Amino acid sequence: MIDRILENLYLSDVQDVLNEFRIDRLKNELKISHVLTVAAEGIPVEKQIVGISYMFIYALDTNTQNMFADNLLANALMFIRTSFENNGRVLVHCEAGISRSVFIVAAYLMQKLQWSSTKAIEYIQRIRPIALPNDGFMQQLQIFESCHFIADIQIISQCQLYKNWLLNISSASSARFPLYKKLPNLIDSTWSNVEYRCRKCRKILFNDKHILTHKTMTSRNVTGNEETGIIDCGFGHFITPMDWMSLNEHRGKVIFFWGQKV
């Protein structure tokens, strides 16, 4: 079923794009000019309608699917905006029209109308009751909101909320930091305030923007008595994986090129 979300913006499942009995409606009745597919597979060439522009974004409906990496979200939003600038009509779809496509449409509403993630999802659900992005997508919409609706990975990757989200989903996975590879591995003094160097060669290893804060439940006051609370842990640092890291042979210790422990 195709639902009209805004003027010239529609949301559906894949059958509305593939089914031969529904496909004619796209161009002849709805006058769709652009189709955005957010799924594991794109629309086969033989199923594409002449005169309609197609864009495919590879994404799985999982809690760990990173929609900021490779500027997936940024590119999707650009496709929608460009379509409207050319007086087009856009259909966004995924497999069932429940999660992935709803995430993209919600992000567009948030950016265009300066809405919160909650308001955008509730608006879509009033039109399409089955709309329900997975938890990972909902968290990424909150990150998008906290970054003032900017989807550029170079900016998002500096957001502490985004880095904490990556840490959480990586900790829940058996793979070693599979989603960190798109974090900028930049050592730029204009990009940070504090630099951390190798104590042997003094090469800059990382900066404060690569540090992932984490909380501890207890602390001690000035008299030495233990108090209960939630504070930033000061025992050590979690950092985003860097190109120079070698962990496999050293039981988790961070080793630089010289064999020197950091």
Pull the structure tokens for residue 107: 């992000």
Q: Identify the DSSP state of 49.
A: P
Pull the structure tokens for residue 79: 């496709």
**What element of type H or E holds 97?**
none
* 233 is an active site residue: no
**CA–CA distance, 254 with 222 (Å, rounded to integer):** 33
From 94, 147, 201, 233, active-site residue: 94
Instruction: Answer yes or no: are the C-beta atoms of 91 and 11 closer than 8 Å.
Output: yes
Taking residue 261's Cβ as centre, other Cβ atoms within 10 Å add up to 12
**CA–CA distance, 259 with 262 (Å, rounded to integer):** 9
How far lies 128's CA from each of 6, 98, 102, 183, in Å? Answer: 12, 9, 9, 35
What b/e sequence results for 168-204 when a residue is b if at least 16 CB atoms lie within 10 Å of its CB, and e otherwise? ebbeeeeeebebbeebeeebeeeebeeebebeeeeee
Contacts of 251 (CB under 8 A, 6+ apart): none
**What residues are labeled active site?**
94
